[in-house]
Structure 1
Amino acid sequence: MRIDTSKGFKVLSLFDGISCGMVALERAGISVERYVAYEIDKYAIKVSQKNYPQIEQMGDVTTADFTQYKGFDLLIGGSPCTYWSIAKKGREITPDGVGGQLFMHFVRALKESGCKYFLYENNYSIHKDIKAFISEQLGVEPIMINSALVSAQQRKRCYWTNIPNVQQPKDKRILLKDILESGIPWQEKSYAYTTRCQAAIFKDTLEKHRHTMVAEPFIYQRPHGFNKGGIKIKSKMPTVTATGSFIHNNYIIEPIRIGQYGNGGQGQRIYSPYGKSVALSANGGGQGAKTGLYLISIDETPKLKCKIYTVNNGCVECNGKSYFINLPDGDYIIRKLTPVEAERLQTLPDNYTEGISNTQRYKCIGNGWTVDVIAHIFKYLEV
């Protein structure tokens, strides 16, 4: 059944968050006449309003009269999975709890508005009885799509929709290394990004396989021209009085390569900060291939506030226990993902959530949708 969208879609979004649905509609090439959002988190609303000031923010779904949206084309939403997720101790396994009550507002909105199409999303890990209840209420079976097909994270979600003929998206083969601002990953894909990822702890990442973290190579000067971790420095760090082809009119005009690690590939070359940067490469590989690696001397390592982890023979020690890790031998600082990297996991535009604290950015991103999955589904709309 085709619908008249000559003026654009009229969209009703419940539990809208940071309006990932609007981003997905744009990405799918669908024009929007009205987008009405129900959301109560003030930080999520702030992000939404920054990016889409035209969105109509209506507040709490529990007090809404959805009959005013008769004639709307599309209802979308995903009620909070907090109550149903397998990650929650003592989670609800029947639909008669708080999670079920919130979901029923989606059902109520569908009945009261009469939207022609709907899309409801929730966690793949919810109990089978709750999945069956959702299917009964909406009259369709869920489609499981793993965000790994379109992003750098493993994130299985169920989608209930009456949009016809939705198929699995093609694998874009995006890896974790492709979305990093810097550093080296030790896994191909990120674990599912959630609101808890902002509190990532290295030991938990290693043992419980959650809350993805990244290794930043740590290089510091060692006696006799060698660095710990097998990094060999060719010579002393040049000064501005160095001679040779690097100098022109008393300025250094070329990158100064002073060492390497591993096989010395493009991403393993070490440069002096006293020369020019190597050319930035958007399509470069991992490690230093995109930006180059630069040697910074640190006189006293113990003054650093962050802990340095040493990888030796493919193992790293953390809290007195040894773990296998897929990193080259050497010294590393282990960090959590940056807000921009988290946005990229959800296939959001860079700095989409900028303007609120990092803590709230991580939370909003974790509560959001993987945009490219939603955009893929929307492309099956009969418009």
Structure 2
Amino acid sequence: MNVLSLFDGMSCGQIALRELGMKVDNYFASEIDRHAIEQTQFNFPGTVQLGDVRKVRAKDLPRIDLLIGGSPCQGFSFAGKQLNFNDPRSALFFEFVRIWHEVKAVNPNARFMLENVRMDKRFENIISEYLGIRPVRINSSLVSAQERVRLYWSDIRIRKEGLFGDVHTDIPLPEDRGILLVDILQPENEVAVKYHITKRSTIERIKRRLDCNSSFAPRVNPQKSGTLTVGNNSSKMSLTTGTTLITPQIYQRPHGGNKGGFFGGKTPTLTSSSWHQNNLLVSGRRVIQLNGSKESNGRQPFQQNRVYSVGGISPALCSAHAGSAPAVLLDGYIRRLTPTECARLQTIPSWYKWGCSETQQYKMLGNGWTVEVIKHILSFLNTRIQ
């Protein structure tokens, strides 16, 4: 099998093919980023680099069996200015179309896969018209700890629908593996100090946001629960609980029209632009916070407002405060995700080695594919390519 990969980046397509155990005779890659090319050659020295996609001609290559690519998406992304085909980067999609026609002219049995971001339906339809097929939408969250919705156009497996026989990509969704953020984190004793946030203003800002976020309200820890008492009125219910644990969360800093916020369970989509600086890992323990006021006729704070030892248990949580009682982060940490953790979000296998700076690793991972999604799609090649 001969493979041509356009906009190859760190060669996630080649990673997926190797993971699937598929024999590739020649892997041709079109890429212009020097760091990405070096990284690919570091792992796959047999890769034939072709350079600028605008100079690639299929007739100059051996017969291609599989064409893959993820044309630049900045013009289509809802996170950008949405210049669409007016953005010269997104206009490179038409180079993919040109080369696809050249490949098909030589090998009518060739197959293709194109990936791009979720976009305005109008522009999705234009791409579908040029390729003659409608895409399947797959969220990487099914196979990783990352929310990353992408569109995949492919004729590897198709179905026809409707009166006019519209062709659709017929790749079934992968099974949900239930992978969460906590599953991809490195043990804290393996995380270098350089990843931890030490700037006081940043720490205090995130703590203030924590205290205003109802999703971080104290929850009953069954291992520390005491008696549950309910009077004639349900509002008299009280619970006794201990220090509550915060499930690891990602705090996304506000930027542009994005107000930021907290993401639990799954991370927001990795991007190539300083993602690790703008999305911080927050974890720790919380207890009821002393608010400094004198209550109970000035003698002491109400019980639910006292500070108790982290090693002990907190006072009873009244139903009136259970969802809104102020709290403080104790013995916690705020840090950046490591390159290893970001690679796990993109399901990069451990055998893939890095030979570039961490800055370039973050950038390539943000631009790259979720390998397990690509593996899932390409796994259907076994029944198509002879």
Q: TM-score range by the shorter chain?
A: 0.5 to 0.7
Alpha-carbon distance change, 127 to 99 in structure 1, aligned in 2, over 3 angstroms: farther
Shift of 1:62: 1.3
2: CA distance, partners of 1:118 / 1:64: 16
After superposition, the C-alpha distances for 1:52-92 in whole angstroms (9 at most, x for unaligned) are 1011111110122222235210000011112221111x221
Question: Aligned match of 1:119 in 90, 107, 113?
Answer: 113
Q: Give the alignment's TM-score, normalised by structure 1.
A: 0.64
Which amino acid letter does the alignment assign opposite residue 20 of structure 2? Answer: A
Secondary structure at 2:2's aligned position in 1?
Answer: strand
Aligned to 1:23: 15
Aligned to 1:293: none
1: CA distance, partners of 2:174 / 2:342: 21
After superposition, the C-alpha distances for 1:119-170 in whole angstroms (9 at most, x for unaligned) are 000001x222211111001000010000000111010000000011411100
Aligned to 2:375: 375
After superposition, the C-alpha distances for 1:319-375 in whole angstroms (9 at most, x for unaligned) are xxxxxxxxxx52323111100000000000237352211111100111000000000
Matched, 1:91 2:91: no
Which amino acid letter does the alignment assign opposite residue 368 of structure 1? Answer: G
Matched, 1:145 2:213: no
Q: Percent identity?
A: 42
2: CA distance, partners of 1:229 / 1:36: 64
Aligned to 2:361: 361
Matched, 1:188 2:265: yes
Aligned to 2:95: 105
Aligned to 2:235: none
After superposition, the C-alpha distances for 1:202-236 in whole angstroms (9 at most, x for unaligned) are xxxxxxxxx35243679xxxxxxxxx99443xxxx
Alpha-carbon distance change, 61 to 333 in structure 1, aligned in 2, over 3 angstroms: same
Secondary structure at 1:120's aligned position in 2?
Answer: strand
Which runs of structure 2 are paired with 1:136-175 in the superposition (5 Å)?
A: 136-164=129-157, 165-175=170-180
Aligned to 1:337: 337
Contact 1:135 1:142 (C-alpha < 8 Å) held by counterparts? yes
Aligned to 1:251: none
Alpha-carbon distance change, 315 to 85 in structure 1, aligned in 2, over 3 angstroms: farther
Range with bigger deviation, 136-145 or 106-115: 106-115
Secondary structure at 2:25's aligned position in 1?
Answer: strand
Secondary structure at 1:380's aligned position in 2?
Answer: helix
After superposition, the C-alpha distances for 1:248-289 in whole angstroms (9 at most, x for unaligned) are xxxxxxxxxxxx999xxxxxxxxxxxxxxxxxxxxxxxxxxx
Which amino acid letter does the alignment assign opposite residue 266 of structure 2? Answer: K
Alpha-carbon distance change, 351 to 229 in structure 1, aligned in 2, over 3 angstroms: farther
Alpha-carbon distance change, 358 to 100 in structure 1, aligned in 2, over 3 angstroms: closer
Aligned to 1:46: 38
* Structure 2 gap ranges (5+): 158-169, 189-246, 250-263, 287-306, 315-323
Aligned to 2:347: 347
1: CA distance, partners of 2:122 / 2:353: 35
2: CA distance, partners of 1:229 / 1:77: 57
Which amino acid letter does the alignment assign opposite residue 268 of structure 2? Answer: Y
Contact 1:200 1:213 (C-alpha < 8 Å) held by counterparts? no
Shift of 1:313: 5.6
After superposition, the C-alpha distances for 1:157-215 in whole angstroms (9 at most, x for unaligned) are 000000114111001111110110035613111111111344534xxxxxxxxx35243
Which amino acid letter does the alignment assign opposite residue 141 of structure 2? Answer: A
Question: Aligned match of 1:67 in 59, 62, 79?
Answer: 59
2: CA distance, partners of 1:315 / 1:117: 56
Contact 2:73 2:117 (C-alpha < 8 Å) held by counterparts? yes
Question: Aligned match of 2:181 in 133, 152, 176?
Answer: 176
1: CA distance, partners of 2:308 / 2:15: 44
Contact 2:280 2:334 (C-alpha < 8 Å) held by counterparts? no
2: CA distance, partners of 1:70 / 1:111: 15
Q: CA RMSD in A?
A: 2.5
Which runs of structure 2 are paired with 1:145-294 in the superposition (5 Å)?
A: 145-164=138-157, 165-182=170-187, 185-186=248-249, 187-201=264-278, 211=279, 213-215=281-283, 230-232=309-311
Q: Give the alignment's TM-score, normalised by structure 2.
A: 0.64
2: CA distance, partners of 1:100 / 1:360: 22
2: CA distance, partners of 1:350 / 1:71: 32
Which amino acid letter does the alignment assign opposite residue 172 of structure 1? Answer: R
2: CA distance, partners of 1:214 / 1:50: 34
Matched, 1:56 2:124: no
After superposition, the C-alpha distances for 1:9-68 in whole angstroms (9 at most, x for unaligned) are 210000000000001112223111110000011111111111110111111101222222
Secondary structure at 2:82's aligned position in 1?
Answer: coil
Higher share in helix: 2
Contact 2:2 2:62 (C-alpha < 8 Å) held by counterparts? no
Secondary structure at 1:47's aligned position in 2?
Answer: helix
1: CA distance, partners of 2:377 / 2:146: 18
2: CA distance, partners of 1:191 / 1:261: 34
